[in-house]
Amino acid sequence: MIKEQAEGDQCQIPVGESSRVAEARRKAVEFAGRIGLDETKTGICAVIASEMGTNLIKHAVDGEIFVRSVTQETMQGIELVAIDRGPGMANVSHALKDGTSTAGSSGNGLGAMVRMASEFDIHSLPGRGTSLVARIWNGEASARHVPVVRTGVIQKAIPGEQVSGDAWYSACTANRTLCAVVDGLGHGALAAQAAQLAVETIRTHAGASLTEQVDLAHRALRPTRGAALGIAEILHDHAIVRFVGIGNIMASICQAGGSRSMVSQNGILGHQIRRVTEFQYPWSDSAMLVMCSDGINTHWDVTPYTGLAARDPSLIAATLYRDFSRGRDDTTVVVLKKSTADA
């Protein structure tokens, strides 16, 4: 069965004052309502959003909460990601214990989130800040629900725009994972239109070869302003990943403390591209695929972050966004890594 995730809504709430905590809570409830979570699960989403926001107000600098809907086979859920540029924590395990507080409160916030969430993960380094993720599913997870590859994403529109000109897509089966990141030229609605059309074309023809998918998307985007595209295909049984890049989408394979950039060729999808070239790279169960639009600085690097590579892919995406976002463009970071038994 195909386990598919698309470029669905992700809402970002900057949290710098207490009124924004209420906004994060409202957004969590709104997203829960969209997918039909029951009253209990919706209440959990609200409480976790409130706890995240309250912690950001107490401890953080430039805090943000991201909310999105997620799917995993037959299950649906809400993902909440909190990011801050605060002092960070030297001992995360100690901070997760109820009664631990550095702000004079009861200290139950992190511990409560761990207990209520279906899935929870956190990463923090002194002097860099903290990222945490919580997911609330509409059912109980089981081994059959765990995908071969997990996908984490952070997406944000350029300040001043209501929609992002970026889009992304991933689909996973037991033997093959397909992932694409698209950056429509410019910003706003017309850029989003081009990016979404590219994603829809790829979704429709996901079984075709990468070069065929790129060619079809190129034809489809001719009436639009065009886009940059990066598309990767992981063949798990063959331990390889194939990649085609057109324009300024960055893609790297990270493993064993290093990374290898994947080759993109010059051009604009829908307007001008040379002969499409597919590149092939080795893949392993310990590898991680990172794909970014050009809203991320080209000098990003995972290696200085102790323990980050072992964490949830949404935390990895969040940390890269936090520390390497240019802040003057649409931004998308997608991270794919193999699921672990305790994920």
CATH number of the domain within which 330 lies: 3.60.40.10
Can you give the C-alpha Rg of the chain in angstroms?
19
Residues 125 and 207 in one domain: no
Please say which residue of 121, 143, 165 terminates a domain: 143
Position 293 in a domain: yes
Position 222 in a domain: yes
Residues 116 and 252 in one domain: no
Residues 27 and 119 in one domain: yes
Residues 120 and 237 in one domain: no
Instruction: Give Cα separations from 234 to 16, 20, 210 (angstroms).
Output: 40, 40, 11
Residues 200 and 327 in one domain: yes
Contact by Cβ (8 Å): 74, 95:
no
Please say which residue of 109, 143, 177 terminates a domain: 143
Residues 155 and 116 in one domain: no
Position 296 in a domain: yes
Residues 308 and 267 in one domain: yes
Q: Would you give per-residue pLDDT tens digits along the chain (343 residues)? A: 455 555 457 999 999 888 899 999 999 999 999 999 999 999 999 999 999 999 899 887 789 999 999 988 788 999 999 999 887 776 666 667 654 443 433 335 788 899 999 999 999 888 888 999 999 999 775 445 566 889 999 999 999 998 999 999 999 888 999 999 999 999 999 999 999 999 999 999 999 999 999 999 999 999 999 999 999 999 999 999 999 999 999 999 998 778 899 999 999 999 999 889 999 999 999 999 999 999 999 999 888 888 899 999 999 999 999 999 998 899 999 999 987 644 4
Residues 234 and 105 in one domain: no
Nearest to 166 by CA among 148, 181, 150: 181
Position 343 in a domain: no
Position 223 in a domain: yes
Residues 243 and 330 in one domain: yes
Instruction: Give Cα separations from 2 to 73, 295, 318 (angstroms).
Output: 8, 30, 26
Position 291 in a domain: yes
Please say which residue of 115, 143, 171 terminates a domain: 143
In three-state secondary structure terms, 262 is coil
Q: Which domain holds residue 298?
A: 147-338
Position 179 in a domain: yes
Q: What is the dihedral of CA 20, 24, 27, 28, to 10 degrees?
A: -170
Measured between alpha carbons, how far is 162 from 156 in angstroms, rounded to an integer? Answer: 10
Residues 139 and 153 in one domain: no
Measured between alpha carbons, how far is 296 from 289 in angstroms, rounded to an integer? Answer: 15
Position 155 in a domain: yes
Residues 316 and 177 in one domain: yes
Residues 69 and 189 in one domain: no
Per-residue confidence (pLDDT) for residue 323, from 0 to 100: 94
Structurally, how many domains does the chain consist of? 2
- What CATH number should be reported for the domain holding residue 26? 3.30.565.10
Give the relative orientation of helices 210-220 and 188-204 as an angle to the nearest 10 degrees.
140
Per-residue confidence (pLDDT) for residue 41, from 0 to 100: 96
Per-residue confidence (pLDDT) for residue 22, from 0 to 100: 95
Whole-model pTM over 0.85: yes
